[in-house]
Chain A
Amino acid sequence: SAVISQKPSRDICQRGTSLTIQCQVDSQVTMMFWYRQQPGQSLTLIATANQGSEATYESGFVIDKFPISRPNLTFSTLTVSNMSPEDSSIYLCSAGRPNEKLFFGSGTQLSVL
């Protein structure tokens, strides 16, 4: 199994500012992902964090809005840029190895005023 530490656990931010969320995995994993859960909605994949290269974004998500870094196998960051109230969501980091189940961090509850 893998333990995923995600921080901050929650934040309240002003419109127009940016927030960086950190994700640390306690073991080396191949895959890391970032998900978003908007109120009353399912978990939606934002992007796959690739080690040492640009993240792979899903339709509807762009690098300028959600820049992602993954400098090594166990650490990744997601930045929510130029925030608006519509960005208020839970952001979740997940990680795993091929052919194994995904593990999730505890999430970051973001509120944008």
Chain B
Amino acid sequence: DQQVKQNSPSLSVQEGRISILNCDYTNSMFDYFLWYKKYPAEGPTFLISISSIKDKNEDGRFTVFLNKSAKHLSLHIVPSQPGDSAVYFCAASGGSGYSTLTFGKGTMLLVSP
């Protein structure tokens, strides 16, 4: 039973446009959400996070939106760059900080020039 779902295995976007990656969760105890980016042959690197007390968090080109009632979060990348091409993992945690993370299966983003 997947508690964190990324229903799009892949996404293709043109350079300069917006990339929107989606994530749904089922566990209402989750209160801390993170996005990680992973390049081939490298470990995941932290991108951005949001706690359940907020509905939006921005960091440069990256914005994460949280809709608690829908149990849905999304990552917006504007403008998208070819270097953003990677696999993006959504992760969720219950309790403070990270405790133990539950990951989605990831979405492969390809940004073409």
Tally of A-B residue pairs with Cβ under 8 A? 58
Instruction: Contacts A45-B100, A48-B100, A99-B96 given; indicate if A104 touches B44 (C-beta within 8 A).
Output: yes
Shortest CB–CB separation between residue B31 and chain A, in angstroms? 12
Is A98 interfacial (CB-CB < 8 Å)? Answer: yes
Structural contact, A43 and B89, CB atoms closer than 8 A: yes
Size of the chain A interface, CB-CB below 8 angstroms: 27
- Closest A residue, CB atoms, query B46: A101
Give the residue of A58, A99, A102, A107 whose beta carbon is less than 8 angstroms from that of B46: A102
Bound form: Cα–Cα A6–B90 in Å: 23
Is B110 interfacial (CB-CB < 8 Å)? Answer: no
Structural contact, A102 and B96, CB atoms closer than 8 A: no
Which chain A residues (46-76) contact chain B, with CB distance < 8 Å? 48, 58
- Contact-residue bracket for chain B: 20 to 34
* Interface 1/0 per residue, B1-36 and A, CB below 8 Å: 010100000000000000000000000000000101
Give the residue of A42, A94, A101, A107 whose beta carbon is less than 8 angstroms from that of B105: A42
Bound form: Cα–Cα A40–B6 in Å: 12
- Closest B residue, CB atoms, query A102: B98
Give the residue of B41, B43, B49, B106 whose beta carbon is less than 8 angstroms from that of A101: B49
Which chain B residues (23-72) contact chain A, with CB distance < 8 Å? 34, 36, 41-46, 49
Give the residue of B4, B46, B96 whose beta carbon is less than 8 angstroms from that of A42: B4
Bound form: Cα–Cα A41–B105 in Å: 5
- Chain B interface residues (CB < 8 Å from chain A): 2, 4, 34, 36, 41-46, 49, 89, 91, 96-98, 100-106
